[in-house]
Structure 1
Amino acid sequence: MIASNSRAELMQSGLNLIGQALSIFDSDLRLAVANRQYQAMFGLPDNLCLPGTYFEDTIRHMVLRGEYGPQDDPDEAVRIRVEQARTFQPHYLERQRPDGSWISVEGAPLSQGGWIAVYTDITETKRQETLLRARSEELSEQVLENAERLAAANRELAATITALQETKRVVTETQARTRQVTEMIPAHIAHMDRDYRYVFSNRQMPQVFPGTRPDIVGLTGDQVLGTTTFAVVRPYMDLALAGRHQVFEMTHEESGRRIRIALTPDRAGNGVYILSTDVTAEVEVREALTHASRRELAAKITSGLAHDFGNLLTVILGLQDRLTHAGLPLEAHADVQATLAAARRGVELLERIGQIAAPQGTALAPIRLQDLLRDVVEMAKATVGGSARLTLNADLPKERLMLDPGHVQDSLLNMILNARDAMGPKGGEITLSARAAAPWLELEIADTGPGFSPEALSRATEPFFSTKQGQGSGLGLAMVFDQAKLAGGTLRLSNREDGPGARARLRLPLRPVRPQMVLLAEDDSELRKMLRQMLIRLGHSVIEAASLAEAQGLADLPGLTVILSDLQLGDGLGSELATPSGPPLILMTALPPGDPLRDSATGPVLNKPFDAATLAAAFTQVTHD
């Protein structure tokens, strides 16, 4: 096997041995390859023979040098030739150059876009034609001689053209294979020149940076990624352009994805090769493992100390309660109450450590988030104090959302109290913002305090880390982080760009509760009635069936979107209602997991009994998948 760089050098050497000048421009009118004769024939400087050179720059150089004769309007002459080139049409022409020599130009389009052009010096052929016309009678013998020479030259030219056609075929196939291979890779591969302009791309940019476009060749980094994102990339790009390999990770703010980017300077010094990979899943697993290890450590600490600590607190609380009723002086009574408060705080701390060590799952329910946020603000206003002002800015859909209301409330209150503590006694502004931007629901707490320190930004979500000098447990943001991960979301901490202060942005999956047309198949009339009422309260329309046969007769009704059926109906199995082209099926059963009949069911199965939140979560799963 020949290495790819050796193969490229071999191909270039072969092209240099061809007598004719040859150039290949791609679909963006940028030079892909040229041989040595191309530079020599037109006397081009080195910078116009490098891959990536614009066709327009080469034509302008030749027009200004007089290659096409005197021009009244050089810019118009350049424009006309560039526009002709953009048609990618096959062509053949002969023209006399300013030095009196003649060349023929033969161009052919390539299947991948662009074209290949072959330039042949036909000065001798033209001289012979002139000689024949001027001295046809006097030089009959010379005519015959030159005709023979011309025939030989033509045969040689035909052989050369055949070789060039084979070269064209090889180049075309190589380009096609290279593009096919790169476009199959689940990463973005590109080449950027020294002007931060893309000269190659495997069209996978949208797979890594959602919202971008696939056809980016010829565009700059600013135009493709946006000013904010490219501002993060550019310092690393400058180091790579200086010859230093770079590998770094960044967060794409618009999508929340974590991207790893490797920059490799090209050997010719003309730019940088770029490999961008979406490593969001890898980072989430890494963070989850890190937090899991910390929770495991907390669990070990808790399991070793919780029993004795709990007994100790019980004794302290009992003794303090006895002292309360012992008729102590008033000042001693205040000390007893303070001791009781400290002991109760110890109990609360022990409970929170237990929550960090073994976080609960999520309990999704259809809620009106606007109402929940107003309740949070009302609860928090009494806590933040008079010096801090709490405001709510919300841009939310009218329909209900599937969320865990307890987790959302706890997380927001934690972040609001952190903002209050950060601002200190002088107070300031706390803003709770909420907006829906698919696929995310964004909840952000911003304050006007001093902002996060560098250490806090890197460690704030670690269990037991606190900047409150012994006044805090260090578990608040760690709990918010864990709850966000459980819900499939993220927690991002940063300092404000528009002034002093901090931001805590909670992103949760946006799952609107959309009304469905439901076929409810249940042979127990009382249970069917209860389920119908539950579905209607969730905002769905319901069609009832009391048997499998009745349900099968209704399963093809127009507009039907979900089937909810008991697994065991009186006349058959509800699983028979599942069809490849029909609406999704949700089954219900009281059979325990492991029962063969239950295990044979495909799709989601609800355990009877269940509540409205569980039912809504199942509907969200099948209608959003």
Structure 2
Amino acid sequence: MSNYTTTEMTMAGLNLIQQALTIYDSDLHLAVCNQRFQEMFELPDALVTPGASFAETIRYLAQRGDYGDVGDLEQFVTSRTQIAREFEPHYMERTRANGRTISVEGSPLPQGGWVTVYTDITRTKQHESLLRARSEELSDQLGSYSSELSATNRQLEATVTALEEAKRQITRIEARTRLTTEMMPAHIAHVGPDRRYTFSNRRLSTIMPGSKAELVGQRIEDALDKQAYDAIHPYVEKAFAGTPSVFEFTHERSSRRIRVALTPDPTQGGIYVLSMDITEETQTRAALQQTRRREVAAQMTSGLAHDFSNLLTIILGMQSKLARMDLPEAASALISATQSAARRGGSLLNRISDMTGRREHNPTPTDLPAFLSELDTLVRAAVPDGMEFCIVAPDLPDRVLLDSGMVQDSLLNLVLNARDACDAQGRITLTVSAVKDTWIDFTVTDTGTGFSESALERAFEPFFTTKGGEGSGLGLVMVYDLTKLAGGRVTIGNTDTGGTVTLRLPLRIAGHAPPRGLVLLVEDSADLRDTVRDMLRDAGHSVIEATSVPEAQALLEQLLEISAVLSDIVLEGDQTGLDLVEKATCPIFLMTSLPPSDPRFTAATAIAPVLRKPFSGADLHAFLTVKSETPQ
């Protein structure tokens, strides 16, 4: 239907009503009026034409006598115009010069101006006069009606009071709900049908750094950066179409993994949004998946490796017998080649066993500069003199939690591969960098031949190699395996000058080692006490010893310089290490060989850090370092 037809139909409808109607804009010019307005006030065409001045209409009616004796005409018109400009709701009744009584009801419009309805109430006023004349007859009935009205008013007052109390409760509930959503470690929001936020708990900037904090009124594509919006846009469209979804994506700006749940809102036509940072969960999940793959691989290969190892042993034994026989020289060469191949097969079995065997990821506080310095020494011993090797590590934390053995094995493997790709000349660079506060990247680049297309596609497949008979095809597989076990990922590619491989591992900042001091060692086994004492002294601590809780308590009271206590749970006498925890005034650490199912073990973990036996000196040092930074 055209706009013109719609306008005609609207005016036709307005002309059918019995009241006169006008709409004046904020400048007090006529915007719309119906035909009844002209008829009721007998106005000329010029004053009912859109754009007609309100002041001119008042002047015309005053001059005609509709307002009676107004005195100063211009002052009257100015006063009426000023009242109109205040745009306040009003209702009035007045009798015109022709004896007709009209009611005037005006309401302001949000954008300025007002709409006014004029009703001829002459007959209503006449009826009121008749009613007043009969007031004596109706006084009894009116009294009854008055009583009923008073009762109704009292009921209404009670209802209003109840509604006000309900409003206060709703306000309190809303405040508690908003406080709860603000405390949630997730972004909770509602987006209306116009794709603008109607609610947000202001957590988006903590989930996806760089995003806006104040979102209400913002369009969803303006609140997010382009990469994030492009990632969620298809799911947003599905949600607006009525299909809920839960998905994950990587926020490139912060390198965080984000999970988003979109739920359609059937009442208002928008969608509810829940966003969470699941970076650590993803890292843990990747590590668990890799552990499971290793277990499956170990189950599949262990039996085959055992049988194959037996076959190789038989082959080597038979070849040794053949070598001792008086055979032609050509046969001796074949026997030697067969023995070499069998030994190589045995070496390959050992590599497979190392790759599929159980290996725990055990991150410990690692001095990163010292780790890189040690790696530099190892690499320079493995590369030829004509090859350049350098480490670039700007602005890194001094201490991080790493499985240094795993990382060192992986980086050495990558450097040796780069050495082979450079053919004993060129440059290898190891760049270590932090990605926001989430990842630490170890990137090895070289000036060699780079990766071929097939290598880029199959580099992480077991037994794939580009080195011919010289390679086992398990080097990058081992690197991939160890990195996934740590919750990270491996990427490979080519640069303008050669190949590049990046290990991305979770970044965990480690605190500094506890200061060296006097440690009270409480252990009732003399042999074990000697061993642990040596571990503590090797770490730089002074050690004083006790075998029971009373003895340890006496030393604590006498020697205020004791900086920490390391105690077994089960001790000589009736009291245990748990009793000592309650009496110690300095940090206390427990050790035990009790199984986790033992009630004493459970009770100990609830009140102090616990280290399970057996442990090495490195394990003890890492335990004291990490646990000393945990609030007790």
TM range (shorter): 0.5 to 0.7
Q: Aligned equivalents of 2:453 and 2:263: distance in 1?
A: 33
State the distance in 2 between where 1:575 and 1:252 align.
47
Equivalence for 1:565: 567
SS in 2 for 1:434: strand
Q: Quick one: distance in 2 between partners of 1:323 and 1:368?
A: 55
Look up the match of 1:616: 621
Change (3 A) 1:441 1:178: closer
SS of alignment partner, residue 309 of structure 2: helix
Over 3 Å counting, the alpha-carbon distance change for 1:220 and 1:391 in structure 2 is farther
Residue equivalent to 1:433: 431
For 1:103 and 1:368, locate their aligned partners in 2 and report how far apart those are by CA, in whole Å. Answer: 76
Is 1:408 the equivalent of 2:410?
no
Matching residue of 1:344: 343
User: Cα offset for 1:276?
Assistant: 1.4
> Structure 1 residues 578-587 or 267-276, which shifts more?
267-276
Q: Distance in 2 between matches of 1:510 and 1:336?
A: 56
Identify unmatched segments of 5+ residues in structure 1: 1-39, 44-94, 105-117, 126-154
1:19 aligned residue: none
Structure 1 position 551 matched with structure 2 position 556: no
- Go from structure 1 to structure 2 and tell me whether the alpha carbon gap of 1:476 and 1:394 turns closer, same or farther (over 3 Å shift): same
Partner secondary structure for residue 620 of structure 2: helix
Letter of the 1:576 counterpart: D
SS in 2 for 1:579: helix
Cα offset, 1:615, TM superposition: 0.9
Amino acid at match of 2:88: W
- 1:326, CA displacement in angstroms? 7.2
Deviation at 1:539, TM superposition (A): 4.4
For the pair 1:304 / 2:309, whether they are aligned, the reply is: no
Alignment of 1:103-502 (within 5 A): 172=171, 175-176=174-175, 179-180=178-179, 182-183=181-182, 187-191=186-190, 200-205=199-204, 208-209=207-208, 230-237=226-233, 240=236, 248-252=247-251, 257-262=256-261, 274-280=273-279, 283-284=282-283, 287-288=286-287, 290-292=289-291, 294-319=293-318, 339-362=338-361, 368-381=367-380, 389-395=388-394, 403-419=402-418, 429-434=427-432, 442-447=440-445, 450=450, 464=462, 466=464, 468=466, 473-484=472-483, 488-493=486-491, 495=493, 501-502=500-501
Q: Distance in 2 between matches of 1:382 and 1:97?
A: 96
- Please list the CA deviations of residues 149-177 of structure 1 after superposition, one character each: whole Å capped at 9, or x if unmatched: xxxxxx9xx99x99997997688467546
Q: Which AA in structure 2 matches 1:344?
A: R
Q: Take 1:498 and 1:221, find their aligned partners in 2: how far apart are those partners?
A: 39
Contact 2:435/2:441, CA 8 A, preserved across alignment: no
Amino acid at match of 2:550: A
Name the structure 1 match of 2:119: none
Letter of the aligned partner of 1:567 in structure 2? I
Q: 1:586 aligns with which of 575, 586, 589?
A: 589
CA change 1:465–1:224 in 2 (3 A) is: farther
**TM-score for both structures, normalised by structure 1:** 0.58
> 1:543, CA displacement in angstroms?
6.0
Contact 1:450 1:502 in 2 (8 A): no
1:506-561, Cα deviation, whole Å (9 max, x unpaired): 33644345124564233668865664453243245656556523533565888976
Which amino acid letter does the alignment assign opposite residue 577 of structure 2?
Answer: G
1:464 alignment partner AA: P
8 Å contact from structure 1 (residues 520, 532) kept in 2 = no
| 1:23 corresponding residue in structure 2 | none
Q: Assess, with a 3 A threshold, how the Cα gap between structure 1 residues 582 and 337 changes in structure 2: closer, same or farther.
A: farther
What is the deviation of 1:612?
A: 0.6
Identity %: 40
Q: Distance in 2 between matches of 1:435 and 1:345?
A: 39
SS in 2 for 1:578: helix
Contact 1:519 1:545 in 2 (8 A): no
Sort the Cα spacing of 1:468 and 1:275 in 2 relative to 1 into closer, same or farther, 3 A. farther
Equivalent residue of 1:361, what SS? coil
Give the SS at the match of 1:535: helix
Amino acid at match of 1:354: S
Corresponding residue SS for 2:249: strand
Counterpart-to-counterpart distance in 2, 1:324 and 1:97: 123
Q: Once the 2 structures are TM-superposed, how far is the Cα of residue 309 of structure 1 from its aligned partner?
A: 0.9
Taking the aligned partners of 2:583 and 2:495, their CA distance within structure 1 comes to: 52
Q: How does 1:11-160 map to 2 (within 5 A)?
A: 99=85, 101-102=87-88
Question: Cα–Cα, structure 1 residues 608 and 506, in superposed 2: closer, same or farther, change >3 Å?
Answer: closer
Change (3 A) 1:580 1:473: farther
Return closer, same or farther for 1:359/1:249 CA change in 2, 3 Å cut-off. same
* Distance of aligned partners of 1:391 and 1:577 in 2 relative to their CA distance in 1, 3 Å threshold: same
Native 8 Å contact 1:370 1:396 kept in 2: no
User: CA-to-partner distance for each residue in 1:266-322, whole Å, 9 max, x for gaps?
Assistant: 899999753313444664565456435533442343233223211222234345556
* TM-score normalized by the length of structure 2: 0.57
| CA apart distance, 1:252 | 4.3
Structure 1 contact 484–508 (Cα < 8 Å) conserved: no
Opposite residue 522 of structure 1, the aligned amino acid is V
2:440 alignment partner AA = E
Contact 1:257–1:278 under 8 Å retained in 2: yes
- Once residues 493 and 284 of structure 1 are traced to their aligned partners in structure 2, the CA distance between those partners, rounded to angstroms, is 16
Partner Cα separation in structure 2 for residue 216 and residue 564 of structure 1:
52
1:504 aligns to what?
Answer: 503
- Contact kept? 2:514, 2:624, Cα under 8 Å: no
Post-superposition shift, 1:444? 0.6
Over the aligned positions, Cα root-mean-square deviation in angstroms equals 5.7
Larger CA deviation: 431-440 vs 263-272:
263-272
Counterparts of 2:393 and 2:348 in 1: how far apart (Å)?
33
**CA offsets per residue over residues 463-487 of structure 1, 9 Å max, x none?**
627464976555444433443455x
| Alpha-carbon distance in structure 1 between the residues aligned to 2:387 and 2:214 | 50
Whole-angstrom CA distance in 1 between matches of 2:161 and 2:326: 115
Task: State the Cα deviation string for residues 311-346 of structure 1 (Å, max 9, x = none).
Answer: 222234345556777799999877666554443332
Quick check: 164-173 or 605-614, which moved more? 164-173
Corresponding residue SS for 1:514: coil
Q: Which is worse superposed, 289-298 or 267-276?
A: 267-276
SS of the residue corresponding to residue 102 of structure 1 reads coil
Q: 1:298 to 1:403 in 2, by over 3 A?
A: same
C-alpha displacement at 1:564, in angstroms? 0.5
Could you tell me how far apart the structure 1 residues matched to 2:218 and 2:444 are? 36
Determine the structure 2 residue equivalent to 1:22.
none
Q: Distance in 2 between matches of 1:327 and 1:441?
A: 64
1:569 Cα shift? 4.2
Distance 1:425 1:221, change over 3 A: farther
Unaligned stretches of 5+ in structure 2?
Answer: 1-22, 27-80, 91-108, 117-152
2:72 is matched with none
